[in-house]
Amino acid sequence: MAARARQLADATLTIRPANEASWEDLQKVLSATAPANCQCQRYKMRPKECLVSFPAEERADRLRVQTDPGCADAEATTGLVAYLDDEPVGWCAVEPRTAYDSLVRGGRVAWTGRSEDRTDDSVWAVTCFVTRAGFRRRGIGGALTRAAVEHARAHGARAVEGYPLTTRNAVADELHVGTESMFAAAGFAEVSRPSPRRVVMRVDL
């Protein structure tokens, strides 16, 4: 952890709400990874929609609206973008849990063994991370996790939760949820362990 902190100290890391980043910068982060196809819509699918059959162009259009400075929820926005010096290097999706329609409707990982009020919009969720190749293992994901908590706190959240992996040994399309150790370092504690590979973690504000 100390080594990662030193690496970040060598450059200026800033984290901005997505509505303060350009569309080009956001796509630069997402373009080389699985979320480029998802456009962070996996947990926002509406009833009867399926990610694999949903046009990629429409996913991108939705994300553009969700991150546009003029959108109705611009103050809360749908995520954060990390910059190292002036280079966009990371993304984190964070907003009220109720914004993630498919997570609220289903989401076995999120709800197994819990009697949580799914309509409580004071609980926020961190659902996705991306760090560009060439900038990984430098603590950017951890910095985004901490920033997500502060962003949620500033917008009135009473709690923030995430659904990370318990191991780093995972296929690429799983890594977007983050790791247990990353959330623990940001002050999150375990709520439930719905499977050997996934854990629900939460921080109360």
d(CA 18, CA 45): 20
Residue that has been written with the tokens 């989401």 in this structure: 107
d(CA 73, CA 28): 23
Predicted pLDDT at 190 = 96
Residue 200 has pLDDT above 90, yes or no: yes
- Is there a contact between 1 and 185 (Cβ–Cβ < 8 Å)? yes
- Domains recognised in the chain with CATH numbers: 2-204 (3.40.630.30)
pLDDT by residue (tens digit) across 93-136? Answer: 999 999 999 899 887 889 988 888 999 999 999 999 999 988 98
Predicted pLDDT at 154 = 93
Residue type, 160: V
Residue 161 has pLDDT above 70, yes or no: yes
Q: What's this model's pTM, rounded to 2 decimal places?
A: 0.88
